[in-house]
Each structure stands twice: as C-alpha cells, then as structure tokens.
Amino acid sequence: MNITKLPFNELIGLQPAAEDGWLLQLPGGARYTNHVGTVHASALMALAEASSGELLLRAMGDIGMDVIPVVRRFECKFRKAARGAIRSKGVISADAIGDFISTLRSKGRATIAIAVEVCDESASCVLSASVEWFVAIRSASPTETIRE
C-alpha cells in the first residue's frame, strides 16, 4: 500500500519526503494555513497520522497475513507555530515490532503505539504525537465483526 495514494492523503497533497531522514511531507502554501497565517492544526495532525501509518506498514513488511489496521488513539502536543512546508519523522523499536507481530500472530489482533514528530521548514519540531494502532487479521467471513 502506498500511504500517499489513499484518497484523503491525495486530497491534501501528502507526498513522500524529498530529503533523507524524513518520512512524508506537505508542501507550504496558503491552503494549509489557519486564521493567524501558520500551518493549521489539522494539517499537522493529518501528517502525523499518515506518517505513523507509513511506519506501521514498513514495520510489518510482508508478514503474510491480510490485516485491518485502524487508529485507536491519537495524542499530540503542539510545540510551536509551524510555517511553510512540514515534514515528519519517527521510529519504532525492533523490540516493539517483534512483540507486536508475535501478539498479532498468536491472538489475531494487536496494538502498537508509534511516536512521530512533525517539523516545519526551519526543522523546528512543531508537533509530537503518539498514534496507537489496532490491527486485526482479516476474517475469512465478511459478516464476522472484529471485537476486542
């Protein structure tokens, strides 16, 4: 899956980051600003959420299971006003990935929290977020519901 090709992400203009060390980016422009001329909180949060999804996809790789990932919890802290283009970075520890995949295989579902930072064009961190993903193995039966 290409996270930038999801309909909402295409709508907002989400792009792979142009520079090494970064995940995704949104370009600068008036369409991303708020009433005081800085980057709108919704743009910052959308970039953080998509970036956590990108990290999740990279961490899972080809695990050989058809899964349904959904955001369960999103917490963020705004650190300062953002100006211009914004880009993201984050990392998941190998231990967290291992525990997550092990639980997913044994129980059919698992959660993982992914930390992401969003920085503006001056490379100042403007938002820190923790995005918790709930992932379940897709049921063979389309009428069966996933419960936790």
Residue 146 scores a pLDDT above 80: no
Closest CA to 69 of 106, 11, 114, 24: 114
pLDDT at 63: 83
Reported pTM: 0.90
Contact 131, 47 (CB under 8 A): no
Coil/strand/helix, residue 19: coil
pLDDT at 64: 80
Contact 91, 23 (CB under 8 A): no
Q: Are strands 109-120 and 86-91 parallel, antiparallel or unpaired?
A: antiparallel
pLDDT at 40: 98
The residues with which 127 forms a beta bridge, in sequence order, are 78, 118
Average pLDDT on 52-56 reads 97
Q: What is the 3-state secondary structure (H, E, C) of 93-132?
A: CHHHHHHHHHHHHHHCEEEEEEEEEEEECCCCEEEEEEEE
What pLDDT digit, counting tens, does each position of 1-14 carry? Answer: 899 999 999 999 99
Distance CA 79, CA 114 (A): 18
Domains and CATH numbers, the chain: 3-137 (3.10.129.10)
pLDDT band at 141 (very low <50, low <70, confident <90, very high): low
- Residue found by looking up tokens 């980016």 in the block: 25
What percent of the chain has pLDDT above 70? 94
Q: At 89, give phi and psi (nearest 5°).
A: -150, 160
Which of 8-12, 18-22, 80-84 comes out lowest in average pLDDT? 18-22
pLDDT at 140: 57
pLDDT at 65: 82
pLDDT at 148: 43
What pLDDT digit, counting tens, does each position of 97-131 carry? Answer: 999 999 999 999 999 999 999 999 998 999 999 99
